[in-house]
Amino acid sequence: MAEDVEKVINDNENVVRGICTPYHYDSRKGRLKKGAFKQKDPTRGVSTYRTIILSADNCKQRAKSLGNADKQYVGLATVAAGAVRSANAAIEDTREAMFYGHADIFIVTGADGYEHEAGEPLPPEISELVDGRIDAILASTNFYLDPQPEADEWQGPGLIAA
C-alpha cells in the first residue's frame, strides 16, 4: 500500500470497482449492468479503490468482502478518473469517510442542482441524466471477470482502464 498519496485524483489515475452478481454483472450476457455504477440515491457516491494506493490484491480482498448471500463477488472493473469526469460525473478521494485508498464516483453532482429526498422516485430528467452518465462511464470501463474468485490474491491481468 502506497503511503502519503495526495487526495487529488489525476485524470490518468485508474480506480477499481468491485463487481458482484446479480446487481452489477449479467452473467448470461457477459457484461456489466448499469447497476455497477448506480446508487439508489444518485447523490451518494459509488465506492471505488484507488490503484495508486491499493494493489490489485487489496482491491480484490475489499471487493470480495462485499459479497453475501444475495450477491456474489465476480470481478473488478477499472476506469480512469478522466473518463468519469468526461461523463460529467465527479470523483473524489473519500479516505476520511471510509479508508485510505477509497474514492467515490458521484453520478449526480452539486452542479446539477438536484437534491434527492430518500424514498422519492427520480424525476425523468434526472433518470435520463444518470443513465447517460453511467453509459459513458461503462463505455470507458474495462471489466475483468475473476478467473479464481475463491482465491485471496488477484490472478487476473493487470488492472488498466479502457
Domain assignment present for residue 116? The answer is yes
Domain assignment present for residue 158? The answer is no
Domain assignment present for residue 21? The answer is yes
Q: What is the pLDDT of residues 104-130, one digit of tens each?
A: 999 998 888 888 887 888 889 999 999
Domain assignment present for residue 62? The answer is yes
Q: What is the pLDDT of residues 66-97, one digit of tens each?
A: 888 899 999 999 999 999 999 999 999 999 99
- Which residues span the domain enclosing 35? 14-145
Domain assignment present for residue 162? The answer is no
pTM to 2 decimal places: 0.92
37 contacts 46 by C-beta, under 8 angstroms: yes
Strand, coil or helix: 162: coil
Q: Is 101 left (phi over 0), alpha (psi -120 to 50) or beta?
A: left
Domain assignment present for residue 69? The answer is yes
> Is pLDDT at 155 greater than 70 in this prediction?
yes
Structural domains of the chain, count = 1
Residues in the chain: 162
- Residue 162 CA to residue 13 CA, distance in Å, equals 12
Domain assignment present for residue 47? The answer is yes
Domain assignment present for residue 150? The answer is no
